[in-house]
Amino acid sequence: MRCTINSHEQVMSFADLLNSVGEAGRFQVIHVILLVLAKLLFPGHNLIQNFSAATPRHHCRVPWLENASLEAQRDSPWNLSNTTLLRVAMPWEENSPSRCSRYVRPQWQLMYNNSTDLSNHGEIEGCLDGWEFDTSMFSSTIVTEWDLVCEEKVMKQMAQSVYMAGLLVGAIILGGLADKFGRRTILLISYLGLAVSGCCAAFAPSMAVYTAARFFDGMFMSGAALNSFSLGLEWMSVKNRVLYSLASGCAYTTGQIILAGFAYAIRDWRYLQLAVSAPFFLIVFIGMLHVESARWLIFKGRYDDALKCFKKVARINGKRVVLNMEILKRDLEDDFVGETKTYTIFDLVRTATLRKRTFTIFFIWFATAFSYYGLALNLQGFKVNIYLLMVLFGLVDYPSKFAGLLTANYIGRRAAQMASLSLAGFTSVALIFISEDMAILRASLAVLGKGFLGCAFNIVYLFTGELFPTVMRQTSVGAGSTMARVGAMLAPLVIHSGEIYPVLPQIIYAVVCLCAGLVALMLPETRNTNLPDTVDDLLQQQKRRKEQQMKSQSISDERENSTSLEVLATARPDVTSAQ
């Protein structure tokens, strides 16, 4: 891409133009701060069901127990030293009351012995009068409000799967619309949608309404996540893209800790849902301060708007640059001939180069989300304090993402992507050999694996944005995010496979992660390369890369031949004279 910015008609690249108006000034600082403010609230929607859909300890409600003596009523049903009446009323499983059954008639004989063998007692029935829930940790969740236990427990997972389906649909629809209407416009619509759908979920009168609200919540979350990242990335210079990705990832990590704090302070799921949703009404007004992507404006032929954006950035950064729109337009029109169409997901597989990148990055997105949500949405499965575990899941992301992006910056995106996924896979392998009784050790390894996967997520966003040109960058990130949502939807099903074979989930996660780590080696390195703006730019980059590889191989072969001749000459001096 070329553009002219002064009266002498000096032709400059987009990177040079960005440098002239300021590539790391006050504008970029303000721009990033505004974007990460919203990202602080993203985990409040992605991971809230760890708390709003938590399943407390529970047992069948038994009406006659409510008429028991005053002394018995004072006894906590969860204090196992005072459980005589509960033993009479319902079977026991592993030193706790059965969660889904009770005796048809009280078994008074159990008051005189400690037997808990179900086969020797009376007839059993389901919880016909509902359930009693332990409210010591959660005063209210969707599980306790709508009795989503026993035969209805699948509805809890359905709500999360529907949310993930919303993420998938949002990635397809809002990702594509952003290429047509602009990153900033769709971002603001997504913020508003998050506020409205989140609040609707908080006031939902039934499980059906809640599930529908969560679908739209997921859809707008996808739009917000994709467009905030692209809008930030397209105003960054090559050397600052990793720093932006690091800031973005750390903001999401901080959001996980904020969510844990909110959930600890607000034990009612409706108020918690409202607390993470209502702030997006304010974020909408803050988001109006964003400047639209100049890259996208130029691609759409909106040169006047692009020029205004450049002037605004220069003014905020304190740069005195005279911008000539007419010459800018003339040069850019020459470069964008044939590139005025809107690209779709089908264009990602139209050429061999794009096809290889697309399928490879799709699998990496899938594997990362598949394993990430397998851990992040199963906090109760590790049998430690859920609030503490969420905080630890957040804290581990800081060093892991920092180390990962340092690796991406100094060694390369490809190596960092491969390492983070492989290490996550090895962590899953380790979990296979650790007994469920060792809860602390298992939770520690889960935290470590979560850190590696969080790092992998951060890198794949950056890597995808650099692998594809501006004209289809949003489409590629959206399509990759779609594959991630497919992985997220399948993750809960894998968790349930543990009922068939306890270590099966970890085996599956390990295999998928390790395969994705190997597949990452098939991608080209993008470190220290300019963002391609068109498909032609991408193909030219690929051509230059192949030429450089051939030249390097030729030099290597010449050196190898020269070394071989020298060794041969040393061993047989007559060869030198013969030559």
* pLDDT 10s digits, 407-454: 888 888 888 899 889 998 888 888 778 777 777 887 788 888 888 888
pLDDT at residue 22 is higher than 80: no
The stretch 509-519 carries a mean pLDDT of 89
Helices (H), 320-438: 325-335, 352-376, 386-395, 397-410, 413-432
Confidence of residue 7 (pLDDT cuts 50, 70, 90): very low
Which of 96-100, 246-250, 406-410, 567-571 is the least confident region? 567-571
Measured between alpha carbons, how far is 100 from 576 in angstroms, rounded to an integer? Answer: 90
Task: State the residue range of the domain holding 97.
Answer: 58-134
Boundary residue ending a domain (335, 358, 383): 335
Is 508 in contact with 366 (CB distance < 8 Å)? no
Q: Which residue has the tokens 């090559």?
A: 238
Q: What is the 3-state secondary structure (H, E, C) of 409-450?
A: HHCCHHHHHHHHHHHHHHHHHHHHCCCCCCHHHHHHHHHHHH
Same domain assignment for residues 430 and 312: no
Q: Is residue 572 part of a domain?
A: no
Per-residue pLDDT tens digits for 51-78: 888 888 877 877 777 665 444 444 444 4
354, pLDDT greater than 80: yes
Partners of 59 in the β-ladder: 132
Query: Comparing 12 with 163, which gets the higher pLDDT?
Result: 163
- Judge whether 141 lies within some domain: no
Q: Quick one: 103 and 41 in the same domain?
A: no
Check whether residue 111 and residue 79 sit in a common domain.
yes
**401 and 426 share one domain:** yes
Q: Which residues contact 289 (CB under 8 A, 6 or more apart)?
A: 30, 34
**Range 317-331 average pLDDT:** 67
Strand, helix or coil at 466? helix
Distances (CA, A) of 533 to 2, 108, 183, 361, 478: 11, 79, 16, 19, 17
Q: What's the Cα-to-Cα distance from 216 to each of 171, 174, 278, 366, rounded to whole Å?
A: 12, 12, 15, 22
Asked if residue 315 is part of any domain, the answer here is: yes
* Residue 579 located in a structural domain: no
* Same-domain pairing of 121 and 218: no
- For residue 230, pLDDT beyond 50: yes
Among residues 339, 293, 287, 243, the alpha carbon closest in space to that of 18 is found at 293
The rounded distance, in Å, linking the Cα atoms of 524 and 463 is 10
In a domain, 360, yes or no: yes
Categorize the per-residue pLDDT at 9 as very low, low, confident or very high, splitting at 50, 70 and 90. Answer: very low
Residue 46 reports pLDDT greater than 50? yes
pLDDT score of 342: 62
Question: CA gyration radius for the chain?
Answer: 29
**pTM of the shown model:** 0.72
3-state class of 59 per DSSP? strand
Q: Is residue 320 part of a domain?
A: yes
Is 197 within the bounds of a domain? yes
Q: Average pLDDT over the chain, rounded to whole? A: 78
Calculated CA dihedral for residues 30, 36, 37, 41, nearest 10 degrees:
170
pLDDT cut 70: percent of the chain above it:
78
Predicted confidence band at 5 (pLDDT cuts at 50, 70, 90)?
very low
Are 520 and 418 contacting, i.e. CB atoms less than 8 angstroms apart? yes
Domain endpoint, select from 78, 102, 134: 134
Provide the pLDDT confidence category of residue 496 given band limits of 50, 70 and 90: low
- Tokens of residue 61, six digits: 């409600």
Nearest CA among 191, 185, 184 for reference residue 231? 184
Q: Are 159 and 287 part of one and the same domain?
A: yes
Q: What's phi and psi for 490, nearest 5 deg?
A: -80, -20
If you average pLDDT over each of 61-65, 186-190, 286-290, which comes out highest? Answer: 186-190
Distances (CA, A) of 565 to 562, 568, 572: 5, 5, 10
For residues 68-97, give the mean pLDDT: 59
| φ, ψ at 544 (rounded to 5°) | -65, -35
Looking at the fold, whether 62 and 50 belong to one and the same domain comes out as no
Asked whether residue 377 falls in the same domain as residue 326, the answer is: no
The CATH number assigned to the domain holding 477 equals 1.20.1250.20
Q: Do residue 326 and residue 374 come from a single domain?
A: no
How many structural domains compose the chain? Answer: 3
Q: Are residues 109 and 210 in the same domain?
A: no
Q: 539 CB contacts (<8 Å, ≥6 apart)? A: 351, 353
Give the three-state DSSP class for 262: helix
Q: Tell me the pLDDT band of 122, cut-offs 50, 70 and 90.
A: low
pLDDT at 343: 66
Query: In this structure, is residue 278 part of a structural domain?
Result: yes
Q: Are residues 41 and 76 in the same domain?
A: no
Claim to verify: residue 20 and residue 32 sit in the same structural domain: yes
Residue 229: which of 477, 525, 533 has the closest Cα?
477
Name the range with the highest mean pLDDT among 2-16, 58-72, 78-92, 296-310.
Answer: 296-310
* Nearest alpha-carbon partner for 292 in 282, 304, 283: 304
Q: CB-based contacts of 36: which residues, under 8 Å, 6+ apart?
A: 247, 248, 250, 251
- Where does a domain end: 335, 355, 370? 335
| pLDDT at residue 79, as a whole number | 46
Phi-psi group of 150: left, alpha or beta (phi > 0 → left; psi -120 to 50 → alpha; rest → beta): left
Confidence band for 118, pLDDT divided at 50, 70 and 90: very low
The pLDDT score that the predictor gives to residue 168 is 82
